[in-house]
Amino acid sequence: MAMSHRFARELDGTGVTLNVAYPGHAYTAMNRGLATGTYPPVARPAVPLLRLVMPVLYGSIARASRSSVHLASSSEVDRVHGAYFTSKARRAPWPPAALDERNHTHVWRLCEQLT
């Protein structure tokens, strides 16, 4: 998110909009197939129970995609730029870590090194 927040500033005045949609959690084939060893050691004994409750706690892919679909298709956000949206597709303050200038700088430099 720090990268997106920084990139939104870079795009100011260009006519290009950039927003972030937090999807929340979803029960997917990816997390369904996680090996027990990928969990923190302290959580491993609870993995069988987690596998039973994850479909209920995480919810569907459709629910998790709601905020992204809203940003891509809603006329309400046509001219919105540099905003953060929750999993319920509501505008909200950015998380503090995404606003931290040190995070912006660090992530931006890493991305520059990778490109």
Q: What are the residue ranges of helices labelled H in 1-115?
A: 2-11, 29-32, 47-58, 61-73, 96-99, 101-114
Tokens representing residue 110 in the block? 């890493």
pLDDT beyond 90 at 24: no
Distance, in Å, from the CA atom of 93 to the CA atom of 84, rounded to the nearest integer, reads 7
Distance, in Å, from the CA atom of 51 to the CA atom of 75, rounded to the nearest integer, reads 39
Confidence at residue 38, expressed as pLDDT on a 0 to 100 scale: 92
Q: What is the mean pLDDT of the chain?
A: 91
Instruction: List pLDDT tens digits, range 93-115.
Output: 999 999 999 998 998 899 899 98
Q: What is the average per-residue pLDDT within 4-32?
A: 90
Confidence at residue 16, expressed as pLDDT on a 0 to 100 scale: 94
Domain ranges of the chain: 2-114
Query: Whole-prediction pTM value?
Result: 0.75
Instruction: List pLDDT tens digits, range 29-68.
Output: 888 888 999 999 999 999 999 889 988 888 888 888 989 9
Q: What is the average per-residue pLDDT within 61-85?
A: 91
Q: Is 10 helix (H, G, I), strand (E, B) or coil?
A: helix
Q: Is 101 helix (H, G, I), strand (E, B) or coil?
A: helix
pLDDT beyond 90 at 83: yes
